[in-house]
């Protein structure tokens, strides 16, 4: 047998139930509302809706405090006939992982952490990582996403440059 609720608690529970029911109803009716007057981009090709960072031009990502991630698009030329370099500049305190995602879903790991001393140097207040990649025989050209995930607590401005060059 459950303990008997006091009248004030029962009233509060009733109001809470009614409020949740109303909020849920409003959310449901908004989903099925009239379509917006703006054109849908559901069938628009990704390249037409995403700003693509030019080859060899650094992209500055302003990453807020706490764990946070960001991404931007690049145009990858035919990887079997190109090599590429990824350059990452971050504050020494930032712990950032970087990877590429092809348009067809292949994940290409670039760097697990900007604290990796095999690829990164900290000459002053900034860490500079330089990662050269060979020709990627099994990959295809197209719009790729560059992802950066910061795990460190402080905010950071991270600069990432992806440069493709024809293979020799």
**Composition of the chain by helix, strand, coil, percent to 5:** 20, 40, 40
Task: For residue 35, give every residue at least 6 positions away whose Cβ sits within 8 Å of its Cβ, in sequence order, or none.
Answer: none
Residue 27's Cβ-side half-sphere holds a number of Cα atoms within 13 Å equal to 6
Percent of the chain with pLDDT strictly greater than 70: 70
Is the separation of the CB atoms in 144 and 86 below 8 Å? no
In this prediction, residue 114 carries a pLDDT of 97
pLDDT in tens, 71-121: 999 999 998 999 999 999 999 999 999 999 999 999 999 999 999 999 999
Length of the chain: 168
The pTM score is 0.70
For domain 51-166, give the fold: Jelly Rolls (2.60.120)
Bridge partners (DSSP) listed for residue 165: 83
Q: Work out the mean pLDDT of the chain and round it to a whole number.
A: 79
Is the separation of the CB atoms in 85 and 163 below 8 Å? yes
CB neighbour class for 162 (10 Å; exposed up to 12, middle 13-18, buried from 19): buried
Write the DSSP string, 47-63: HHHSPEEPTT--EEEEE
pLDDT in tens, 60-70: 999 999 999 99
Stated as kind and residue range, the H or E segment containing 130 is: strand 126-133
Q: CA 47, 51, 56, 60 torsion: positive or negative?
A: negative
Domain extent listing, the chain: 1-32, 51-166
Cα–Cα dist 40/42, whole Å: 6
């Amino acid at each position: 047998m459950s303990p008997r609720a006091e009248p004030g608690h029962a009233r509060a529970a009733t109001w809470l139930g009614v409020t949740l029911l109303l909020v849920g109803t409003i959310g449901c009716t908004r989903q099925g509302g009239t379509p917006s007057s703006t054109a849908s981009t559901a069938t628009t090709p990704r390249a037409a809706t995403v700003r693509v960072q030019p080859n060899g031009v650094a992209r500055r990502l302003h990453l807020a405090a706490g764990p946070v991630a960001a991404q931007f698009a690049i145009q990858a030329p035919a990887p079997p006939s190109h090599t590429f370099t990824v350059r990452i500049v971050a504050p020494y305190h930032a712990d950032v992982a970087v990877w590429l995602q092809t348009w067809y879903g292949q994940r290409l790991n670039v760097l697990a952490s900007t604290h990796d001393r095999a690829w990164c140097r900290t000459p002053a207040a900034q860490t500079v990582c330089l990662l050269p990649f060979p020709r990627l025989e099994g990959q295809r050209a197209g719009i790729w996403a560059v992802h950066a995930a910061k795990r460190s607590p402080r905010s950071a401005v991270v600069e990432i440059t992806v440069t493709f060059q024809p293979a020799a």
